[in-house]
Structure 1
Amino acid sequence: MLLFKAAQLLLFSIPVYADMNKTGSLCTVTPSGGKDDSPAIMDAFKQCGKNGQIEITEGDFTIAKVMDVLDLQNCDISIKGKLTWNDDIQYWLRNSISVTYAQRSTAWRLGGTNFSMRGHGKALFFGNGQKWYDQNRNQGNQAGRPISLTLWKANNVFIDGITWRQPQFWHTFVAHSQNITMTNLDMNATSNSQWNTVNTDGTDTWNSKDITIKNWVVTCGDDCISIKGNSTNVYVKNVTCYESGAMCIGSLGNPATTPDYVDNVVFEDITAIHSSNAAWIKTYPGTGHVRNITFRNINFRDVNQPIYISPCIYSYSNCDSSRLKISDVTWENITGTSRYNVAAGIHCSGAAPCTGLKFSGIDIKPKNGGEAKFLCSNMNKDSGLQCTGSCPGNHPQQLNGNV
């Protein structure tokens, strides 16, 4: 009898993991109903991540450990289940994976060549974000707070049909990567408490090129799509953003000793609802350039300050010392309602005035009536924008009323 009870105790003390079965080059992962399914998922990546297929079936999976896979090659990943990252905040603060940029880190990092991740409209990534929002209490940059999914040194990648809910931090990050296509993604960070979803960007790109983003719906507490330093050839189309910063270049230029370059970016067919900004550029007083940017067919409703440029974001100091040049930027068919009476606040650095700014089809009306103001400083006079006054260097990103 004692031996039987001992055997029972031993049986119940064995951790339950997801089941991973390999058939040829296909690895199939099914949920365990236990405390951590990440070992089985990592095993699938190990065995089928090169010249293979990985299928994460329907069902509920728990992710309790970081997942770091940097050697994918010719691999198709299919996800039909719900992946829930547990709420052990102290574990994630200690173990999330550094992605270098601004001391950020991630819960899941994928890299390699020629791979896809398809969610089929069924995959759901749930980050238990409410725990993070409440713990951070409106502070956004806690070291170790993890980005949900990072593409790192990834080339020739296709991601499609995935839903995010309550991410821990940024939904996605693309870094040191090339030829990335991300389509049909649904992202939502919404707090159910008094604390806001600060810094829950839809995506940020950094040191990457040849990126296509199409058919996204994003609700988040910060930038919807943010193009950061050394990003080139980015195309964003058909994105709807709620409660966000919408389409943004930046932040760039920090630290000032490291030049940041952004070239050849197109945002078109964008909708922004109840957001802070719509089509804007933010830099620190740094070095480098922003060049050949197009904001086209941007429609919005109740946006705090739709068009905005700052060379000294956040500190609003040394605004005219920045040598990060902004040039050849087009705003075309920008329409909607501003929350207050400022439709555009554009302050370019006195040390590196903006050149080649072009505006056409600008139709912005304050939602409560009155005339819209277009405030401009240190930019070319042939832009096509009828500036109504100057814009001070300390003009804020967020307005609290009419000016």
Structure 2
Amino acid sequence: MLIAPTITKVKACKVFNVFDYGAVGDGLTDDSKAISNAWHEACHKSKSSQILIPQGKYLINPIVLKGPCKGHINMTINGRFMAPTDPKYWFGIDHWISFRYINGLIIGGHGVLDGQGHLAWSSNTCMKDPKCEKLPISLRLDFVNDSRVHHIGLINSKNVHMNIFSCHNISIRDLKIRAPGSSPNTDGVHIGMSTNIIVSDSVISSGDDCVSLSRGTKNVDISNVKCGPGHGISIGSLGGCPNESEVEGLVVRNCNFIGTQNGLRIKTWAHSHSATVSNITFEHIKMTDVFNPIVIDQQYCPFGNCDQGYSSKVQIRDVRFKHISGTSRSEVAVHLRCSDTNPCKNIMLKDINLDYTDGTADSRCSNVFGVACGKQNPPSCMEQFGITCPHN
């Protein structure tokens, strides 16, 4: 069972107002240096500090706010950060605002990070070219521990809105993330190589996954998230690299999916390296006009150029789909397509009630073993084997 992260509460002892460091806040003047200077001074204070960004518009070019810091820092964003419009400041750059090597960070306030992605989305060729130039992620947390992000808005990122990499003990709550459903690769929150992460009480609309999880992610709790438009909540794609760390201990609960491409999805490459996904629970989920509500896809091939005849080496086991209801925009409301050499094991379907909006819903299964119990709409196609259903 996931234990909620213990987040240090920061009581600010000194306030560093970015206006005191030369910020203008008119949306036209480059305020990057003022924010970096305020960060540098606060980071070197031995006591806790608050960096205050008052109301206003702040043009910010790509910056890295780096630790380790001597004290905890509360970064209060009440204004609106504006990403650069000139491609020389964003094309081929992997970050916009990046925090690295920090413990005890709070990012809050009621401000907005505006990625101005409409200027860059036409330059995104990644769905056709896996070697494409990367575009900046709006908010990156790399090697950040015992920290939280709350109550801010992220809109129209050029790439992923928020990326969590190699972090531990992070709470993310009360976020509003928004981009058009047509915007490419604009995941809401992406998590990789991180442990003990909570995402809760947030509204995410994007052109890609609302929340995505990649290799090495363990003990993640996602709750009370409203997702749509977007591609749902996804694990993967996995197996693309050798020696990938396991994904385990994910709970997704009490979430709503509205008009998304997918709902709950696990995806792995067919021509893959060995990896493992285990101990996953999806429960108390509401679907409204979701195209693919429940999906396991071990033949994932988004570019259409995959080698044929390969079977995924990723082992998926101990996955529970419980109390999931609503409507599917496709006839196949449950599609479990597992590897023929590494079949999915101990998969549970309990109390599934998904209606097809234009007729009778169906399910399709291959190479999946587990148990189905309670209401099953559509009727389960899974081979019953190995486990029993609990009462709850």
> TM range, normalised to the smaller chain?
0.7 to 0.9
- Shift of residue 143, structure 1, vs aligned partner: 1.9
In structure 2, relative to structure 1, the CA distance for the partners of 1:351 and 1:238 (3 Å cut) is: same
> What is residue 74 of structure 1 aligned with on the other side?
72
Structure 1 residues 137-167: Cα deviation after superposition (integer angstroms, max 9, x where no partner): 7858742300001110000011100011211
Residue identity opposite 1:123 in structure 2: G
Q: Do the aligned partners of 1:311 and 1:320 also contact (CA within 8 Å) in 2?
A: no
1:4-403 alignment, distance < 5 Å: 25-30=14-19, 31-32=23-24, 33=26, 34-50=28-44, 51=47, 52-72=49-69, 73-94=71-92, 96=93, 105-111=94-100, 112-119=102-109, 122-136=110-124, 139=127, 142-190=132-180, 196-255=182-241, 257-284=242-269, 285-314=272-301, 315=304, 317=307, 321-368=311-358, 370-384=359-373, 386-388=379-381
Structure 2 alignment gaps of length 5 or more: 1-11, 384-392
Q: Number of residue pairs matched?
A: 351
- Conserved 8 A contact 1:260-1:287: no
Q: Which runs of 4 or more aligned residues in structure 1 lie more than 6 Å from their structure 2 counterparts after TM superposition?
A: none
How many Å apart are 1:128 and its aligned residue?
0.8
8 Å CA contact 1:312, 1:318 repeated in 2: no
Instruction: Give aligned-pair identity as a percent.
Output: 27
Distance in 1 (alpha carbons) for counterparts of 2:296 and 2:277: 11
2:369 counterpart letter in structure 1: N
Q: Which amino acid aligns with 2:14?
A: S
Query: Given the superposition, is the C-alpha separation of residues 260 and 252 from structure 1 closer, same or farther in structure 2, using an over 3 Å criterion?
Result: farther
Do 1:182 and 1:212's aligned partners in 2 also have CA atoms closer than 8 Å? yes
Contact kept, 8 Å, 2:85 with 2:116, in 1: the verdict is: yes
State the Cα distance separating 1:24 from its structure 2 match.
7.5
- Classify 1:179/1:62 alpha carbon distance in 2 versus 1 (closer, same or farther; 3 Å): same
In the alignment, the residues of structure 1 paired with residue 308 and residue 210 of structure 2 have an alpha-carbon distance, to the nearest angstrom, of 27
Give per-residue Cα distances to partners, 1:94-149, cap 9 Å, x unaligned: 5x2xxxxxxxx211211211111112xx2111111111123337858742300001
The alignment's TM-score, normalised by the length of structure 2, stands at: 0.85
For residues 142 and 213 of structure 2, the distance between their equivalents in structure 1, rounded to whole angstroms, comes to 16
Aligned residues of 2:180 and 2:229 also touching (Cα < 8 A): no
Of 208-217 and 284-293, deviating more is 284-293
How far has the Cα of 1:298 moved from its partner?
1.1
Query: What SS is found at the alignment partner of 2:353?
Result: strand
Distance 1:319 1:77 in 2: 52
Letter in 2 for 1:58: Q
> Contact between 1:163 and 1:186, CA under 8 Å: does it hold in 2?
yes
Unaligned runs of 5+ in 1: 1-22, 97-104, 391-403
Residue 35 of structure 2 aligns to a residue whose secondary structure is helix
Q: Deviations over 1:180-212 (max 9, x none)?
A: 001100000127xxxx30110001111000000
Aligned partners of 1:381 and 1:78: how far apart in 2? Answer: 48
**What secondary structure sits across from 1:351 in the alignment?**
coil
Distance in 2 between residues matched to 1:163 and 1:319, nearest whole Å: 45
Secondary structure, aligned partner of 1:355: strand
Q: Deviations over 1:296-322 (max 9, x none)?
A: 111111111111111121156557622
State whether residues 371 and 382 of structure 2, in contact with CA within 8 Å, keep that contact through their aligned partners in structure 1: no
User: Are the counterparts in 1 of residues 187 and 210 from structure 2 also a CA contact under 8 Å?
Assistant: yes
Max radius of gyration: which structure? 1
Q: Which amino acid aligns with 1:35?
A: T
